[in-house]
Amino acid sequence: MLQRDVTREVTTVRPPEFSRSERMRVLVAAAVGSVVVGYAAVAAVLALVSATATYAEFSTAGVLSAAAPAWLAAHHVPLRFDAGQLGVLPLLPTALLMLLVGRTAAGTADRLGLYEPLQARGVVLSIAGAHAVVGGTIALVMGDGVVRATPAVAFFGCAAVSGLAATIGVARRCGLVEVVFDKLDPVALHGMRAGFMALFALVSAGALAVAAGLAISWPRTSELFAGTGPSVGVGLGVFLLCVGYLPNAIIAGFSYVAGAGYAHGDSHVHSSRVTHNIR
């Protein structure tokens, strides 16, 4: 009887109430913090590469300015150069950025004591709005420089990526997951589980295909790395770039295993053949 009363008392406890100004301060801190920490992480990687490169000129202003387009690329905003457009952006920086934003959103929800789905709107909108404004501003400031981005694409692209990450971060704490699963039919749930298992199997097969390809072509890979020069910074930069594209390679790997194949420039690679388009 005593245990039942204690349980009832615990379940009726509500989170502490925040005033409107306190709530706004927490939301602004979360939005600004997610932008600043993400930008600082990108700048730190660039600073490490610049500091270890032989012929690179290291400066704080140069690193911070170079981090701007890299921060947009982490939000998967297309970048343009005089020679063309960077068509395929690395997925790993985007995944890490989304993880950072999701953890920030989850921590904000815990701090505010949110527990209802509609209460997640403030956290998601504040974070997505901050990233959108910063992304659009960076694209405007870059203008017609060496690296360019469309302001509207940067605005909505940064909002979409950060908003999705924030939604995932607050989904469990605000009951969004329970709401979605309660509305699904049991048959649909079983189908989703089977689909996720099949997707996991395909991703695993793609990862094995990439690992096998690297093992087979390791002498050529070592030769390419050696051709980058004796500088530690250049080799580190190429290595980090390869790691950033690793999820892209895994996607191409399970596309190859599934039979659909993938395209790389003018070459189309399938499980049974490789074709080249000669212009």
Single-letter residue type at 126: S
pLDDT by residue (tens digit) across 224-264?
Answer: 777 766 666 677 778 888 889 999 889 888 887 777 766 76
Give the predicted TM-score (pTM) of the model: 0.81
Element housing 61 (H / E)? helix 60-74
pLDDT by residue (tens digit) across 165-224?
Answer: 999 999 888 888 787 777 778 888 888 889 899 889 988 988 998 899 888 888 888 887
Instruction: Please give the pLDDT value at position 279.
Output: 53
Helices (H), 172-265: 176-183, 186-216, 218-226, 232-244, 246-258
Single-letter residue type at 109: A
Task: Name the residue with tokens 């409107």.
Answer: 20
Q: CA–CA distance from 53 to each of 61, 224, 244 (Å)?
A: 17, 17, 19
Cβ partners under 8 Å of residue 22, min gap 6: none
pLDDT by residue (tens digit) across 18-74?
Answer: 677 888 899 999 999 999 999 999 999 888 877 776 666 667 788 888 899 999 999
